A and B are shown apart, each in its own frame.
Chain A
Amino acid sequence: MKSALSLIAALAASPAFAGVEEVVDAHILPGYAAFEASAAGLRKIAAADCTPDAVRPAWNDTFDAWMAVSHLKFGPIEQDGASVIVAFWPDERSATPKALARLIADQDPIIDTATGTAQISVAARGIYALEYLLYDPQFDQAGDYGCALTQALTADLATIAARVDQDWQDGYAETMRTAGAAGNQTYLSDKEATQALFTALLAGLDFDVEQRLTRPLGTFDRPRPNRAEAWRSGRSQRNIVLSLQALADLAWHLTDGTAPITDAAMTRAIELAEGLDDPILAGVDDPSKRLKIEIVQQAVTTAYDAVLGEIGASLGVSAGFNSADGD
């Protein structure tokens, strides 16, 4: 009896998930296609009318689409530092407003060409730099140059989104699907591709806890509401929800839906995050609301532990190194 039980336990623990193909087809490729399409739309709208009111809806759509893929820190998005260009955040030294203000003060003509824009500081490019231009009163009076800058940055973003989408379609999807096949220099075994996805899942949850929640929470005596992500556009809570939904989707496809503890933990974290009713996490400063944010923080940590314990063991892989290692 005892041995039969052990056998069942052993079978249950053997690698049952082989979801690389599913993740590529159902999660990654559609995610980057949507990001490319929304960024192209943003470029077009900004080219026609660069005023903040006109550009904001398309910018928000693009940010939404980015949230569905922002955790994928490997492959084409890592080429030429594209992930940092698209999303330069957190910005602990306020490099973004400083770099934008300098370009505007200098009326720097480098943004007149796409090649020139690609050379400016990464702090002044991408989604978060555009947020400053579109929402921060500091840049209300940026005039014609501010308009040209919005157009240059949206075009730059669209170019990157298109390149990444194309690179996935043209080769990297196949590279992942053929992990372990002869001649595949990137993934020497199928486990290495699985490990890349598993690492992205864990690092994504870690980012939500550490950057999106712990940083604005600060301490009870010294909360840091202005460290909340994208508070100028009122997206702090929304981004947490969208990120968790994307990570739940990744976990689901990676495991073919056979990780019940993870699914339950993710579902609970998403529900709690949706229930915050605190778009910019201003509640970190209010003892009665602060607790709700801390509960979300704990729920995401629980989801992280669930992924580690349940999925990691079943896949037979450990997390690899990720770009957030270090301090």
Chain B
Amino acid sequence: MKSMLFAMTATTALTALPAFAVERAEVLDTYANIAAAGYADSLTTAQALQTAVDVLLDQPSEAALQAARTAWIAARVPYMQTEAYRFGNAIVDDWEGRVNAWPLDEGLIDYVEATYGGATDENEFAVLNVVANPSFTLSGEEVDASAITPALLQDTLQEADGVEANVATGYHAVEFLLWGQDLNGTDAGAGDRPWTDYTAGDDCTNGNCDRRGDYLRAVTDLLVTDLDEMAAAWADGGAARTAVLADETAGISAMLTGMGSLSYGELAGQRMKLGVMMNDPEEEHDCFSDNTHMSHYYDGLGVQNVYLGSYTRVDGSTVSGPSLSDLVAQADPAIDAQLKTELEASVAALAVIRDKAEAGMAYDQMLARDNTEGEALVMGAVDALVIQTRSIERAVAALDLNGIAVEGSDSLDNPNAVFQ
């Protein structure tokens, strides 16, 4: 009898709330710390890219071009993991277009093949080719582009004529200048820009090597400046950190909004499903470098990082702390367990794509009309991302986040951000 009573007491103790329940403020602290580390890593890897670009431009060679490409690929690893911060945080979302705008009409920047086409209904400046043209007319105004500076790229060319595809800055502009167009369609092979595109004098290929070099230097410098700004915004006292810590409920909502919007509308929808359904190799996120499989994988991992409250830095160290998962588990352990399993499944599905691509079937080949295996791989990850979005919605409900508005989110841009 006594032992049975004891057993009952033990059961009660197990189901009671833990003595030290996780607080929302602690979870937000972890969230901000991971952002600070992620953007700091993005900054240092971009600085390494900047160094490699300087070497390429000072002493062009095949090896220097390869080194710059390797540095670009390495720089994507921490950056893509920060994308889970974008949709929940207005400060990030307003800034993001400067560093990761996509897709782009690359003919704005430099030479393209005839098959690329000319100006389109949507974009008069799709083949502007700033590298070849030191002056031109843009929306009725004469532009002096004799000096290619970060200011010219950011203030005049970026989204020129109000067209989003006029991407003059960010990772993808750098990517185009390092790789060039991928002319292989859905066949094997990435962009193959020769290193001699940066050679001075008579050895210069495709013309205007000096201006091309100026562009590459300016756009890389600008990327570093922009990442520096975001790293500072998440450091102690920074604007983004302050904003997300200001209101605990809104902050937790921002975390889930970022996870859900990236998982569903952006990654599963825009970046993955649409490409498969269009069989269009240009509908891949890193279309010049064929690095899309890595970018997708680290996007998915970033969503999981936010939920588990843990991020592995570029140097191998870990930033972690009380997590959103802990918080959801306190409210509804079943939803937490389900969401953890589903996040694991989506990361695993994205890892399969990554491994398949690394083994030789590039992401754009997976989009080919008759590649049923590739399509199945991509759609497998899409399905996993869609499934986890439902559980993210359930986590919102479990945490009773209905009835609050996320500060700074435009309700029409992002209806889910407004829980009003």
Q: Mark B388-414, 1 if CB is under 8 A from A, else 0.
A: 010011101100011100000001111
The contact of B411 among A85, A304, A323, by CB within 8 Å, is A304
Which of A22-30, A36-44, A92-100, A245-253 forms contacts with chain B? Answer: A92-100
Query: In the complex, how many angstroms separate the beta carbon of A187 from the nearest chain B beta carbon?
Result: 10
Is B95 on the interface with A (CB-CB < 8 A)? no
Interface assignment of B87: CB less than 8 Å from any CB of chain A: yes
Q: Which of B103, B139, B266, B393 contacts A326 (CB 8 A)?
A: B266
**Chain B positions 260 through 273: 1 when the CB is less than 8 Å from some CB of chain A, otherwise 0:** 11111111011001
Cβ–Cβ < 8 Å partners of B414 in chain A: 325
Nearest 3 pairs of A and B residues by beta carbon: A325-B265, A326-B266, A122-B277
5 pairs from A and B in contact (CB 8 Å cutoff): A84-B274, A92-B165, A93-B282, A209-B412, A325-B266
Chain B 366-420 residues near chain A, CB threshold 8 A:
369-370, 389, 392-394, 396-397, 401-403, 411-416, 418-420
**B121 contacts chain A at the CB level, 8 A cutoff:** yes
Residues on B with beta carbons closer than 8 Å to the beta carbon of A227? 122
- Per-residue CB contact flags for chain A residues 111-154 toward chain B (1 = under 8 Å, else 0) read 00000000111110000000000000000000000000000000
Question: CB-CB contacts of A283-327 with B at 8 A, as 1s and 0s?
Answer: 000000000000000000100110011001100111111111111
Give the chain B neighbours of A277 by CB distance below 8 A. Answer: none
A81 at the interface (CB under 8 A from B): yes
Contact yes or no, A326 B265, CB < 8 A? yes
Which A residues touch B3, using CB under 8 A? none
Q: Nearest chain-B residue to A325 (Cβ)?
A: B265
A203 contacts chain B at the CB level, 8 A cutoff = yes
Tell me if A274 is interfacial: C-beta within 8 Å of chain B: no
Contact of B162 with A by CB under 8 A: yes
Q: Are B269 and A202 in contact (CB under 8 A)?
A: no
Does any Cβ of B come within 8 Å of A163's Cβ?
no
Q: Is A190 positioned at the interface, with any CB of B under 8 Å from its CB?
A: no
Contact A321 B393 (CB under 8 A): yes
Q: Smallest Cβ distance from B208 to chain A, in angstroms? A: 26
Q: Does A184 contact B (CB under 8 A)?
A: no
**Shortest Cβ gap from A310 to chain B (Å):** 10
A268 within 8 A of B: no
Question: Cβ of A188 < 8 Å from any Cβ of B?
Answer: yes
CA distance A120 to B369 in the complex (A): 7
CB-defined contacts of B139 to chain A, threshold 8 Å: 221-222
Chain B residues proximal to chain A, CB less than 8 Å = 87, 97, 103, 120-122, 139, 161-162, 164-165, 260-267, 269-270, 273-274, 277-280, 282, 369-370, 389, 392-394, 396-397, 401-403, 411-416, 418-420
A304 to B412, CA, bound (A): 8
**Closest-CB distance, A179 to chain B (whole angstroms):** 13
Chain A residues within an 8 Å CB radius of B411: 304-305, 308
Q: Do B393 and A320 touch (CB < 8 A)?
A: yes
Enumerate chain B residues within 8 angstroms of A14, measured Cβ to Cβ.
Answer: none
Q: Is the CB of A319 within 8 A of B418?
A: yes
Is there contact, CB below 8 Å, between B165 and A322?
no
Q: Does A278 contact B (CB under 8 A)?
A: no
For B260, list chain A residues within 8 Å (CB). Answer: 321, 325
A77, B287: Cα distance in complex, Å: 30
- Taking CB atoms, residues of chain A closer than 8 Å to B277 are 81, 84-85, 121-122
Chain A positions within 8 Å of B, measured between CB atoms, are: 81, 84-85, 92-95, 99, 110, 119-123, 188, 191-192, 195, 199, 202-203, 206, 209-210, 218-219, 221-222, 226-227, 301, 304-305, 308-309, 312-313, 316-327
Residues of the A chain whose Cβ atoms lie less than 8 Å from the Cβ of B274: 84, 122
Measured in the bound complex, the distance between the Cα atoms of B165 and A191 in whole Å is: 40
**Bound complex: CA A203 to CA B261 (Å):** 13
Whether A321 and B122, one on each chain, are in contact in the complex, defined by CB atoms closer than 8 angstroms, is no
A95-B278 in contact (CB<8A): yes
| Separation of A88 and B348 alpha carbons in the complex (Å) | 30
Indicate if the CB atoms of B418 and A321 lie closer than 8 Å: no
How far, in angstroms, from A218 to B123 measured CA to CA in the complex?
A: 13
Quick one: which of B164, B261, B370 has the most chain A CB within 10 A? B261
Contacts of B165 in A (CB 8 A): 92-93
C-alpha spacing A221/B415, complex, angstroms = 29
- A residues within 8 A CB of B369? 110, 119-121
Instruction: Give the residue of B389, B392, B412 whose beta carbon is less than 8 angstroms from that of A210.
Output: B412
The reply to whether A203 and B122 contact each other, CB–CB distance below 8 Å, is: no
Q: Which chain A positions have C-beta within 8 A of B389? A: 321
* Closest beta carbon of chain A to B194's beta carbon, Å: 27
Q: Answer whether A321 and B420 are a contact pair too, CB < 8 Å, given A222-B161, A305-B411.
A: no
Chain B residue nearest to A97 in the complex (CB) = B121
A222 — nearest CB in chain B belongs to which residue? B162
Residues of A close to B280: CB separation below 8 A: 95, 121, 123
Cβ of B221 to closest chain A Cβ, rounded Å: 25
Residue from A93, A95, A210, A227 having most chain B Cβ neighbours under 10 A: A93
Partner of A219, one of B122, B162, B403: B162
Report the Cα distance A84→B282, complex, angstroms: 18
Bound complex: CA A102 to CA B411 (Å)? 40
Q: Are B402 and A93 in contact (CB under 8 A)?
A: no
B125 CB to closest chain A CB (Å) equals 12
Residue on B with the closest CB to A300? Answer: B412
Q: Is the CB of B121 within 8 A of A191?
A: no
CB distance from B104 to the nearest CB of A (A): 10
How close is A241's CB to chain B, nearest CB, in angstroms?
Answer: 20
Q: Are B270 and A319 in contact (CB under 8 A)?
A: no
> In the complex the two chains form, what is the Cα distance from A322 to B389 in whole Å?
10
Q: How far is it, in angstroms, between the C-alpha of A85 and the C-alpha of B277 when the chains are bound?
A: 8
B248 to chain A, nearest CB (A): 17
User: Once the chains bind, are A308 and B420 in contact (CB under 8 Å)?
Assistant: yes
Bound-complex Cα distance A327 to B403 (A): 25
- Taking CB as reference atom, which chain A residue is nearest B367? A121
Contact partner, A318, options B122, B162, B164, B401, Cβ 8 Å: B401
In whole Å, how far is A282's beta carbon from the nearest beta carbon of chain B?
15
A13 to B413, CA, bound (A): 27
A226 to B397 CA separation, bound complex (whole angstroms): 42
- In contact, A326 and B261 (Cβ under 8 angstroms): yes
Report yes or no: A325 in contact with B420, Cβ–Cβ below 8 A: no
Q: Which residues on the B side are within 8 Å of A218 (C-beta)?
A: 162
Q: Smallest Cβ distance from A324 to chain B, in angstroms?
A: 6
State the CA gap A327–B104 with chains docked (Å).
Answer: 13
Residue of B whose beta carbon sits closest to that of A315: B402
CB-CB under 8 A from A323, the residues of chain B are 264-265, 269
Give the chain B neighbours of A122 by CB distance below 8 A.
274, 277-278
